[in-house]
Amino acid sequence: MTPRQRLLVFLAGAAGLAALLAWGVAGLPGFGDHRSAYGQLVTRSSVPLRNATDVVTVVNLDVRGLDTIGEEFILFCSVTAAAVLLRRQARERVGAARDEFPGRRAPGRDDAVLVLGTAMGALVVCFGLYVVGHGQLTPGGGFQGGGILAAGVALLYLASGVRTLERMAPEWLLEVGEAVGAGAFVLIGLASLAAGAAFLQDLLPLGSSGTITAGGTLGLINAAIGLEVAAGISLVVSLFLVQLARIEEADRP
Amino acid sequence: MSPLVAWLPFGVAVWLFVVGLYGIVTSRHLVHLIVCLSVVQSSTYVLLLAVGYRSGALPPILIDVPARTPTVDPIVQALCLTDVVVEVTVMAVLLALAVQAHKRFGTADPTRLRPQRG
Protein backbone atom coordinates (compact mmCIF):
# COMPACT_ATOMS: atom_id res chain seq x y z
CA MET A 1 0.00 0.00 0.00
CA THR A 2 1.49 3.34 -0.99
CA PRO A 3 1.63 6.17 1.55
CA ARG A 4 -0.96 8.06 -0.49
CA GLN A 5 -3.47 5.17 -0.43
CA ARG A 6 -2.88 4.72 3.27
CA LEU A 7 -3.50 8.41 3.91
CA LEU A 8 -6.77 8.28 1.95
CA VAL A 9 -7.98 5.25 3.93
CA PHE A 10 -6.99 7.04 7.15
CA LEU A 11 -8.77 10.28 6.22
CA ALA A 12 -12.02 8.38 5.49
CA GLY A 13 -11.75 6.55 8.82
CA ALA A 14 -10.70 9.66 10.77
CA ALA A 15 -13.65 11.67 9.44
CA GLY A 16 -16.01 8.98 10.71
CA LEU A 17 -14.17 8.73 14.03
CA ALA A 18 -14.16 12.50 14.55
CA ALA A 19 -17.90 12.61 13.82
CA LEU A 20 -18.58 9.81 16.33
CA LEU A 21 -16.38 11.48 18.97
CA ALA A 22 -18.10 14.84 18.43
CA TRP A 23 -21.49 13.09 18.74
CA GLY A 24 -20.41 11.42 21.97
CA VAL A 25 -18.98 14.65 23.42
CA ALA A 26 -22.22 16.50 22.57
CA GLY A 27 -24.04 14.18 24.97
CA LEU A 28 -21.78 15.10 27.91
CA PRO A 29 -22.84 17.67 30.49
CA GLY A 30 -21.43 21.08 29.44
CA PHE A 31 -17.99 22.21 30.56
CA GLY A 32 -18.27 23.46 34.15
CA ASP A 33 -21.68 21.86 34.85
CA HIS A 34 -20.27 18.70 36.37
CA ARG A 35 -22.30 17.30 39.30
CA SER A 36 -21.12 13.89 40.48
CA ALA A 37 -22.67 12.45 43.63
CA TYR A 38 -19.74 10.01 43.93
CA GLY A 39 -17.10 12.75 43.74
CA GLN A 40 -18.93 14.97 46.25
CA LEU A 41 -19.42 12.08 48.66
CA VAL A 42 -15.71 11.22 48.60
CA THR A 43 -14.73 14.89 48.98
CA ARG A 44 -17.00 15.37 52.01
CA SER A 45 -15.93 12.16 53.73
CA SER A 46 -12.16 12.29 53.22
CA VAL A 47 -11.42 14.55 56.20
CA PRO A 48 -14.00 13.00 58.61
CA LEU A 49 -13.02 9.41 57.73
CA ARG A 50 -9.26 9.66 57.02
CA ASN A 51 -8.07 13.09 58.28
CA ALA A 52 -6.48 13.43 54.82
CA THR A 53 -6.80 16.74 52.98
CA ASP A 54 -5.69 15.66 49.48
CA VAL A 55 -8.82 13.97 48.14
CA VAL A 56 -7.03 12.64 45.03
CA THR A 57 -4.71 10.59 47.26
CA VAL A 58 -7.70 9.28 49.23
CA VAL A 59 -9.38 8.21 45.98
CA ASN A 60 -6.26 6.48 44.64
CA LEU A 61 -5.05 4.74 47.79
CA ASP A 62 -8.27 4.15 49.73
CA VAL A 63 -11.49 4.35 47.71
CA ARG A 64 -9.87 2.78 44.63
CA GLY A 65 -6.93 1.20 46.47
CA LEU A 66 -7.33 -2.22 44.86
CA ASP A 67 -7.29 -0.63 41.38
CA THR A 68 -4.11 1.21 42.29
CA ILE A 69 -2.45 -2.10 43.19
CA GLY A 70 -3.35 -3.28 39.69
CA GLU A 71 -1.94 -0.07 38.24
CA GLU A 72 1.23 -0.47 40.26
CA PHE A 73 1.70 -3.91 38.73
CA ILE A 74 1.20 -2.47 35.24
CA LEU A 75 4.23 -0.32 36.07
CA PHE A 76 6.08 -3.33 37.46
CA CYS A 77 5.36 -5.49 34.38
CA SER A 78 6.30 -2.69 31.97
CA VAL A 79 9.64 -2.13 33.68
CA THR A 80 10.25 -5.89 33.57
CA ALA A 81 9.36 -5.96 29.86
CA ALA A 82 11.72 -3.05 29.15
CA ALA A 83 14.49 -4.84 31.09
CA VAL A 84 13.95 -8.03 29.07
CA LEU A 85 13.97 -6.10 25.77
CA LEU A 86 17.12 -4.14 26.65
CA ARG A 87 19.19 -7.08 27.90
CA ARG A 88 22.32 -8.15 26.07
CA GLN A 89 21.35 -10.08 22.93
CA ALA A 90 23.02 -13.30 21.71
CA ARG A 91 25.41 -11.55 19.31
CA GLU A 92 26.34 -8.71 21.63
CA ARG A 93 28.74 -8.15 24.48
CA VAL A 94 29.00 -5.63 27.31
CA GLY A 95 31.98 -3.46 26.47
CA ALA A 96 33.78 -0.65 28.25
CA ALA A 97 31.64 2.44 28.82
CA ARG A 98 31.80 4.71 25.76
CA ASP A 99 29.95 7.71 27.08
CA GLU A 100 29.87 9.60 23.80
CA PHE A 101 28.00 9.78 20.53
CA PRO A 102 29.67 7.78 17.72
CA GLY A 103 32.00 10.07 15.81
CA ARG A 104 32.10 12.81 18.46
CA ARG A 105 34.57 13.05 21.29
CA ALA A 106 33.03 13.68 24.68
CA PRO A 107 34.61 16.54 26.63
CA GLY A 108 36.43 15.45 29.77
CA ARG A 109 34.90 15.64 33.21
CA ASP A 110 34.10 19.24 34.11
CA ASP A 111 34.24 20.23 37.80
CA ALA A 112 31.63 22.99 37.41
CA VAL A 113 29.11 20.56 35.85
CA LEU A 114 29.88 17.97 38.52
CA VAL A 115 29.37 20.40 41.43
CA LEU A 116 26.24 21.98 39.97
CA GLY A 117 24.75 18.60 39.01
CA THR A 118 25.41 17.13 42.45
CA ALA A 119 23.93 20.17 44.21
CA MET A 120 20.84 20.11 41.99
CA GLY A 121 20.55 16.35 42.40
CA ALA A 122 20.50 16.73 46.19
CA LEU A 123 17.82 19.41 45.97
CA VAL A 124 15.72 17.33 43.57
CA VAL A 125 15.94 14.28 45.85
CA CYS A 126 14.89 16.39 48.89
CA PHE A 127 11.94 17.77 46.92
CA GLY A 128 10.99 14.27 45.76
CA LEU A 129 11.01 12.96 49.35
CA TYR A 130 8.90 15.97 50.41
CA VAL A 131 6.33 15.28 47.67
CA VAL A 132 6.17 11.56 48.58
CA GLY A 133 5.84 12.32 52.31
CA HIS A 134 3.11 14.96 52.02
CA GLY A 135 0.89 13.10 49.53
CA GLN A 136 -2.00 12.85 51.98
CA LEU A 137 -1.93 16.61 52.72
CA THR A 138 -1.16 18.49 49.51
CA PRO A 139 -0.99 17.54 45.81
CA GLY A 140 1.60 14.79 45.44
CA GLY A 141 2.22 11.25 46.61
CA GLY A 142 4.19 8.19 45.64
CA PHE A 143 3.70 8.35 41.87
CA GLN A 144 4.55 12.05 41.53
CA GLY A 145 7.37 12.06 44.09
CA GLY A 146 8.81 8.83 42.68
CA GLY A 147 9.07 10.48 39.28
CA ILE A 148 10.91 13.43 40.84
CA LEU A 149 13.29 11.07 42.69
CA ALA A 150 14.08 9.29 39.42
CA ALA A 151 14.94 12.70 37.94
CA GLY A 152 17.62 12.89 40.65
CA VAL A 153 19.16 9.70 39.29
CA ALA A 154 19.07 11.13 35.76
CA LEU A 155 20.85 14.26 37.07
CA LEU A 156 23.51 12.03 38.62
CA TYR A 157 24.20 10.61 35.15
CA LEU A 158 24.25 14.05 33.51
CA ALA A 159 26.70 15.34 36.11
CA SER A 160 29.10 12.42 36.28
CA GLY A 161 28.57 9.90 33.47
CA VAL A 162 27.48 6.31 33.10
CA ARG A 163 30.27 4.72 35.18
CA THR A 164 29.37 6.70 38.31
CA LEU A 165 25.69 5.97 37.70
CA GLU A 166 26.38 2.23 37.59
CA ARG A 167 28.42 2.44 40.77
CA MET A 168 26.03 4.60 42.82
CA ALA A 169 22.71 3.21 41.53
CA PRO A 170 23.57 -0.35 40.40
CA GLU A 171 20.90 -2.38 38.61
CA TRP A 172 20.51 -4.96 41.36
CA LEU A 173 19.78 -2.21 43.91
CA LEU A 174 17.10 -0.65 41.68
CA GLU A 175 15.57 -4.08 41.02
CA VAL A 176 15.39 -4.80 44.76
CA GLY A 177 13.90 -1.34 45.43
CA GLU A 178 11.24 -1.87 42.82
CA ALA A 179 10.30 -5.32 44.07
CA VAL A 180 10.22 -4.21 47.74
CA GLY A 181 8.04 -1.20 46.88
CA ALA A 182 5.56 -3.29 44.87
CA GLY A 183 5.46 -6.01 47.53
CA ALA A 184 5.07 -3.57 50.44
CA PHE A 185 1.81 -2.16 49.07
CA VAL A 186 0.30 -5.66 48.86
CA LEU A 187 1.68 -6.56 52.32
CA ILE A 188 0.05 -3.44 53.86
CA GLY A 189 -3.26 -4.68 52.44
CA LEU A 190 -2.66 -8.25 53.66
CA ALA A 191 -1.72 -6.99 57.14
CA SER A 192 -5.26 -5.60 57.50
CA LEU A 193 -6.65 -9.00 56.43
CA ALA A 194 -4.43 -10.77 58.99
CA ALA A 195 -5.76 -8.47 61.71
CA GLY A 196 -9.32 -9.52 60.81
CA ALA A 197 -10.32 -6.37 58.90
CA ALA A 198 -11.03 -5.81 55.19
CA PHE A 199 -8.19 -5.68 52.63
CA LEU A 200 -6.36 -2.32 52.91
CA GLN A 201 -8.64 -1.21 55.78
CA ASP A 202 -6.81 1.37 57.87
CA LEU A 203 -6.01 0.14 61.37
CA LEU A 204 -3.38 2.75 62.29
CA PRO A 205 -4.22 5.91 64.30
CA LEU A 206 -5.34 8.59 61.85
CA GLY A 207 -3.18 11.41 63.27
CA SER A 208 -4.44 14.96 63.25
CA SER A 209 -5.49 16.56 59.99
CA GLY A 210 -2.83 18.75 58.39
CA THR A 211 0.17 16.99 59.96
CA ILE A 212 2.43 14.42 58.29
CA THR A 213 0.97 11.57 60.38
CA ALA A 214 -2.56 12.25 59.07
CA GLY A 215 -4.29 9.53 57.09
CA GLY A 216 -2.90 6.42 58.84
CA THR A 217 -1.65 3.92 56.27
CA LEU A 218 -1.89 6.46 53.41
CA GLY A 219 1.62 7.71 54.25
CA LEU A 220 3.04 4.16 54.34
CA ILE A 221 1.42 3.27 51.01
CA ASN A 222 2.76 6.48 49.46
CA ALA A 223 6.25 5.58 50.68
CA ALA A 224 5.95 2.08 49.15
CA ILE A 225 4.72 3.49 45.82
CA GLY A 226 7.39 6.19 45.90
CA LEU A 227 10.10 3.55 46.31
CA GLU A 228 8.69 1.43 43.50
CA VAL A 229 8.21 4.29 41.03
CA ALA A 230 11.58 5.89 41.80
CA ALA A 231 13.43 2.56 41.44
CA GLY A 232 11.41 1.46 38.39
CA ILE A 233 11.89 4.67 36.38
CA SER A 234 15.56 4.89 37.43
CA LEU A 235 16.02 1.30 36.27
CA VAL A 236 14.54 2.09 32.85
CA VAL A 237 16.74 5.21 32.54
CA SER A 238 19.80 3.21 33.57
CA LEU A 239 18.97 0.35 31.16
CA PHE A 240 18.67 2.74 28.21
CA LEU A 241 21.96 4.45 29.12
CA VAL A 242 23.81 1.13 29.49
CA GLN A 243 22.30 -0.01 26.20
CA LEU A 244 23.64 3.10 24.44
CA ALA A 245 26.99 3.34 26.20
CA ARG A 246 28.13 -0.25 26.73
CA ILE A 247 26.33 -2.89 24.68
CA GLU A 248 27.98 -3.46 21.31
CA GLU A 249 28.23 -6.11 18.62
CA ALA A 250 30.47 -8.98 19.68
CA ASP A 251 32.46 -9.16 16.43
CA ARG A 252 33.67 -5.58 16.76
CA PRO A 253 37.36 -5.24 17.67
CA MET B 1 -20.14 30.91 29.48
CA SER B 2 -20.35 31.23 25.72
CA PRO B 3 -21.12 28.03 23.76
CA LEU B 4 -17.68 28.13 22.11
CA VAL B 5 -15.85 28.15 25.44
CA ALA B 6 -18.24 25.52 26.81
CA TRP B 7 -17.29 22.99 24.09
CA LEU B 8 -13.70 24.03 23.43
CA PRO B 9 -12.05 21.56 25.92
CA PHE B 10 -13.93 18.64 24.38
CA GLY B 11 -13.05 19.88 20.90
CA VAL B 12 -9.37 20.00 21.90
CA ALA B 13 -9.59 16.41 23.19
CA VAL B 14 -11.12 15.16 19.91
CA TRP B 15 -8.55 17.16 17.90
CA LEU B 16 -5.59 15.74 19.86
CA PHE B 17 -6.88 12.18 19.38
CA VAL B 18 -7.36 12.53 15.61
CA VAL B 19 -4.19 14.52 14.92
CA GLY B 20 -2.15 12.00 16.93
CA LEU B 21 -3.62 9.17 14.84
CA TYR B 22 -2.69 11.10 11.69
CA GLY B 23 0.88 11.29 12.97
CA ILE B 24 0.95 7.53 13.63
CA VAL B 25 -0.39 6.67 10.18
CA THR B 26 2.02 8.95 8.29
CA SER B 27 5.04 8.41 10.57
CA ARG B 28 8.45 7.73 9.01
CA HIS B 29 10.34 7.14 12.26
CA LEU B 30 9.57 4.84 15.20
CA VAL B 31 10.40 7.44 17.87
CA HIS B 32 8.13 9.95 16.11
CA LEU B 33 5.43 7.27 16.04
CA ILE B 34 5.73 6.67 19.78
CA VAL B 35 5.53 10.40 20.53
CA CYS B 36 2.39 10.56 18.33
CA LEU B 37 0.88 7.75 20.41
CA SER B 38 1.51 9.85 23.52
CA VAL B 39 -0.30 12.76 21.82
CA VAL B 40 -3.30 10.43 21.29
CA GLN B 41 -3.18 9.48 24.93
CA SER B 42 -2.89 13.07 26.13
CA SER B 43 -6.35 13.66 24.63
CA THR B 44 -7.68 11.49 27.46
CA TYR B 45 -6.14 13.84 30.06
CA VAL B 46 -7.86 16.84 28.51
CA LEU B 47 -11.16 14.94 28.31
CA LEU B 48 -11.00 13.65 31.91
CA LEU B 49 -10.08 17.01 33.43
CA ALA B 50 -12.71 18.81 31.33
CA VAL B 51 -15.42 16.34 32.40
CA GLY B 52 -14.60 16.87 36.08
CA TYR B 53 -14.45 20.68 35.99
CA ARG B 54 -17.09 22.67 37.84
CA SER B 55 -17.40 26.43 37.38
CA GLY B 56 -16.22 28.42 40.41
CA ALA B 57 -15.23 25.32 42.36
CA LEU B 58 -12.02 24.91 44.35
CA PRO B 59 -9.34 22.21 43.84
CA PRO B 60 -9.94 19.05 45.93
CA ILE B 61 -7.35 20.05 48.54
CA LEU B 62 -9.29 20.62 51.74
CA ILE B 63 -6.85 22.82 53.68
CA ASP B 64 -8.59 25.93 55.10
CA VAL B 65 -11.67 25.24 53.00
CA PRO B 66 -15.09 25.83 54.64
CA ALA B 67 -17.22 22.69 54.81
CA ARG B 68 -19.54 21.98 51.85
CA THR B 69 -17.64 24.30 49.49
CA PRO B 70 -17.92 22.81 45.99
CA THR B 71 -14.70 21.31 44.61
CA VAL B 72 -13.90 19.91 41.19
CA ASP B 73 -14.33 16.12 40.88
CA PRO B 74 -11.38 14.29 42.51
CA ILE B 75 -12.31 10.96 40.87
CA VAL B 76 -11.38 12.02 37.33
CA GLN B 77 -8.18 13.63 38.62
CA ALA B 78 -7.20 10.31 40.22
CA LEU B 79 -7.98 8.54 36.92
CA CYS B 80 -5.80 11.08 35.12
CA LEU B 81 -2.91 10.28 37.46
CA THR B 82 -3.33 6.57 36.66
CA ASP B 83 -3.36 7.46 32.98
CA VAL B 84 -0.07 9.39 33.18
CA VAL B 85 1.73 6.51 34.95
CA VAL B 86 0.51 3.96 32.41
CA GLU B 87 1.55 6.21 29.51
CA VAL B 88 5.09 6.62 30.84
CA THR B 89 5.62 2.89 31.30
CA VAL B 90 4.08 1.94 27.95
CA MET B 91 6.36 4.49 26.25
CA ALA B 92 9.38 2.92 27.96
CA VAL B 93 8.48 -0.53 26.58
CA LEU B 94 7.80 0.84 23.09
CA LEU B 95 11.07 2.80 23.02
CA ALA B 96 12.95 -0.36 24.07
CA LEU B 97 11.25 -2.19 21.18
CA ALA B 98 12.25 0.63 18.83
CA VAL B 99 15.90 0.36 19.94
CA GLN B 100 15.95 -3.38 19.21
CA ALA B 101 14.09 -2.97 15.89
CA HIS B 102 16.63 -0.36 14.81
CA LYS B 103 19.50 -2.69 15.69
CA ARG B 104 17.99 -5.65 13.84
CA PHE B 105 16.75 -3.94 10.69
CA GLY B 106 19.21 -1.03 10.47
CA THR B 107 16.33 1.43 10.06
CA ALA B 108 13.76 3.12 12.27
CA ASP B 109 11.33 3.77 9.40
CA PRO B 110 8.20 1.67 10.11
CA THR B 111 7.37 1.40 6.39
CA ARG B 112 10.70 -0.34 5.76
CA LEU B 113 10.44 -2.90 8.58
CA ARG B 114 9.74 -6.36 7.17
CA PRO B 115 8.26 -9.35 8.98
CA GLN B 116 10.99 -11.73 10.14
CA ARG B 117 10.99 -15.12 11.74
CA GLY B 118 12.52 -15.05 15.20
Parse chain A into domains and list their residue ranges. 52-249
Quick check: B58 contacting A, CB < 8 Å?
Answer: no
Contact between residue A162 and residue A171 where contact means Cβ atoms under 8 Å apart: no
| DSSP characters over A112-169 | HHHHHHHHHHHHHHHHHHHHHHTTTTSS--HHHHHHHHHHHHHHHHHHHHHHHHHHHS
CA distance A62 to A73: 17
For residue B69, what is the nearest residue in chain A, using CA coordinates?
A44
Residues from chain A that touch B81, judged by Cβ atoms under 8 A, are 56, 60, 143-144
Q: What is the pTM of this model?
A: 0.89
Q: Tens digit of pLDDT per residue, chain A (253 long)?
A: 788 888 999 999 999 998 998 888 888 888 888 778 888 888 888 888 888 889 999 999 988 999 999 999 999 999 999 999 998 888 888 887 777 777 777 777 788 988 999 899 999 999 999 999 998 898 988 999 999 999 999 998 888 888 888 888 899 999 999 999 999 999 999 999 999 888 888 888 887 877 888 888 899 999 999 999 999 999 999 999 988 888 887 765 4
- Alpha helices per DSSP H over chain B: 3-26, 30-52, 74-105
**How far apart (Å, rounded) are the C-alpha atoms in residues A48 and B67?**
11
Question: Residue A43: its chain B contacts at CB < 8 A?
Answer: 60, 62, 71, 74
Do B13 and A143 count as a contact with CB atoms less than 8 A apart?
A: no
Q: For B64, left (φ over 0), alpha (ψ -120 to 50), or beta?
A: left
CA distance A80 to B96: 11
Instruction: Show the beta-strand stretches assigned E in A4-148.
Output: 92-94
Q: ipTM for the complex?
A: 0.87
Is B56 in contact with B70 (CB distance < 8 Å)?
A: yes
Q: Is A23 on the interface with B (CB under 8 A)?
A: no
Which of B31, B41, B62, B68 to mutate against chain A (most A CBs within 10 Å)?
B62
CATH topology classification for B3-112: Helix Hairpins (1.10.287)
